[in-house]
Amino acid sequence: MSVWEDWEVGMANLLMLQDKITPPQQYSLLVTDQDTTEPETSLYNETFIRKDSGQILLSAERGKQDMKFCGWVKGEVTKN
């Protein structure tokens, strides 16, 4: 989601963030709680990382590793 108003209960909501070090065409994805509009505070998922500011973000690199592992276990994965 690009604004907090797009948050939906029960969904895996990720807020698009951009800062001074993020290239213009890319975003960091802030993980939010599925039941409240509060940002997530714990690293309960292996694809999450904690930024120096304390924000919990979704790690693209860990996500790719996770998908690769799932493909290894379940079968072939195609990368586009």
DSSP conformation letters of 10-57:
TS--EEEE--TTS-TT--EEEEB-SSSSSBP-S--STTEEE-TTS-EE
Is there a domain that residue 16 lies in?
yes
Structure token digits, residue 9: 């209960």
18 contacts: CB under 8 Å, gap ≥ 6: 24, 26, 27, 28
Structure token digits, residue 77: 């994965």
Cα separation of 52 and 39, whole Å?
A: 15
The count of structural domains within the chain is 1
Is there a domain that residue 80 lies in?
no
pLDDT tens digits for range 16-63: 998 888 888 888 889 998 888 899 988 888 889 898 889 999 888 887
Can you give the pTM of this predicted structure?
A: 0.71
Is there a domain that residue 35 lies in?
yes
Is there a domain that residue 32 lies in?
yes
Note down the domain range covering 26.
Answer: 4-74
Is there a domain that residue 64 lies in?
yes
